[in-house]
Amino acid sequence: MDLNLYLKEKKAVIDDFLSSYISAKKRLKECPADLCDAMGYALMAGGKRVRPILAIASYEASGGRAKAIVPVAASLELIHTYSLIHDDLPAMDNDDFRRNKPTTHKVFGEGAAILAGDALLTDAFHVISGARARPEILIRVIRELSYGSGPEGMVGGQAVDLKLEGTKARKKELLYIHTRKTGALIRASIRIGAIMAKSSPSNLRALTEYGEKIGLAFQIADDILDITGTIEETGKTTGADRARGKNTYPSTFGLKKSREMAEELVYDALASIKRFHKKAEPLAEIARYIISRKN
């Protein structure tokens, strides 16, 4: 399959939904104009839409055919964007650039950026509530997303990451950080696609294993790119992890070993989805892409 074409097509679908979402906010004039502008700036800044696309690919692998997944998949980008806005703040990673553009707080101010992140996080669940699916399915989706992005997931991983800056984390702590601050939302994206398609328990378990493996591989790849990438490739300042004393796989295991670990995770992820045959081709290609990407 042509992965670039698949990613382009699915990204266009998600971008169309997100553009309509922001336009509707502005048109109805119930959202303050400055807040809408900050939300739209961050949301439409050119992301790859990896998490929504993973949800769609999982949905398709599980037999889904309709467009019902799109609002739910797009809600994942609202969550992801909120997390990036907050990560970039001076109190967190203090980054000036994201996707080759000034970060949200640099353009709109810290207070507006915080509120834009809060709004996107909250509104993600409003978007899900309006999706065309049975209520019990949407409740499962909401439970999955809140777990993956909350204190046991992404936020918990970020908290431990922040706490251990400048110290040497144990391997157990490093695994906790990486499987949660990035891996948890990727795992949730995969599971949500399967849940929306009413996947069987055995297929859901297989996709969950895939999600866990590529979620960790994705963060290891990010760690490597922070060392080997350029600002033109990554769209943000590189070398920041080392400067802040972040605990990363390269700082703990070295670059060579980290690459090997990411490759092994992808190999295991591919093995977990063999049962889906051709239906899982996009998932398989995305897994391979994760460890070869430059941004």
pTM flag (> 0.75)? yes
For residue 99, the model assigns a pLDDT of: 85
pLDDT band at 35 (very low <50, low <70, confident <90, very high): very high
Q: Are the C-beta atoms of residues 190 and 151 closer than 8 Å to each other?
A: no
What are the tens digits of pLDDT across the range 228-265? 876 665 566 666 677 677 889 998 999 999 999 999 99
Question: Taking the domains of the chain in order of start, what are their residue ranges?
Answer: 3-290
CATH number of 3-290: 1.10.600.10
- Return the CA Rg of the chain: 18
Nearest alpha-carbon partner for 145 in 176, 181, 186, 205: 186
For residue 235, the model assigns a pLDDT of: 60
Helical axes 281-290 vs 3-28, angle rounded to 10°: 90
CA-CA-CA-CA dihedral for 81, 87, 90, 95, to nearest 10? -80
Q: What is the DSSP string of 84-125?
A: HHHHTSTTTT--SEETTEE-HHHHH-HHHHHHHHHHHHHHHH
The single-letter code of the amino acid at 290 is: I
What are the tens digits of pLDDT across the range 119-176? 999 999 999 999 999 999 999 999 999 999 999 999 999 999 999 988 888 999 999 9
